[in-house]
Amino acid sequence: MAVAQDSLYYRLQSMNSSLQGRPESALGARGVQITEFKESRINPEPIVLEDSEVLMEQYLSPGKLKSLTGIQNLEDVRSLELKVDTTDTSLGNFGSLLPCLTQLKLSNSCIPYIRDLGSSLRTIQILWMSRCGLLELDGISSMISLTEVYLSYNEICDISPISMLDNLQILDLEGYVILWRYFFI
């Protein structure tokens, strides 16, 4: 036991001698070393990438929407046709950038969930989402102005969220496979 204590004392002494010029503290006696960096950028400012090419590819920014539509004033856009993959690219809340949008065509896109479109598409009256790999309609009730919805050839499990659309006149579910097992259980 005395040999182990002597060994520990010797190691602490050699550490103390190698740390000459540093102030002694209770931490130093326990073998804890604190290193101060002389660099002035310890907490650098984050880089803002608002208009960078990276964000242009990841989100539908105002600049990208102006480029896609060819219209400088996004309030003048009434219809929009896009092919997107929401598994790779977020649509963000692009509906807030297009306050007068009434027709949105997203056919042949990859959009598994309606929620991927955001909750600000309140002025949409006609929505085309055929062959989008759509699985769920949760969130469609936020599109309160919908009168026509085209959802053919998707794999939707539950169409009950459509019942919340009071203005709906046309619903296209061509190619929709009804899972009868839910009705007979």
Tell me the pLDDT of the chain (185 aa) as tens digits: 454 455 555 555 555 555 555 555 554 555 555 555 555 555 555 545 454 444 445 567 888 888 888 899 999 999 999 898 988 777 878 889 999 999 999 999 999 999 999 889 999 999 999 999 999 999 999 999 999 999 999 988 889 999 999 999 999 999 876 555 555 54
Give the Cα separation of 119 and 83 in Å (integer). 19
Question: CA angle 49-55-57, nearest 5°?
Answer: 155
Domains of the chain: 53-184 (3.80.10.10)
Among 106, 112, 107, smallest CA distance to 157 is for 112
Judge residue 98's burial from the number of C-beta atoms within 10 Å of its C-beta, 0-12 exposed, 13-18 middle, 19 or more buried: buried
Longest dimension (CA), the chain: 91
pLDDT of residue 67: 85
pLDDT of residue 87: 85
Cβ 161 vs Cβ 137: under 8 Å: yes
Tell me which long-range contacts 30-34 makes (C-beta under 8 A, separation of at least 24). none
Among 107, 82, 87, 81, smallest CA distance to 174 is for 107
**The token pair that represents 171 in the structure block:** 């619903």
* pTM for the model: 0.66
Contacts of 34 (CB under 8 A, 6+ apart): 27
Residue 115 DSSP code: G
Among 48, 84, 44, 45, smallest CA distance to 64 is for 84
Q: How crowded is the C-beta side of 63, counted as CA atoms within 13 Å?
A: 10
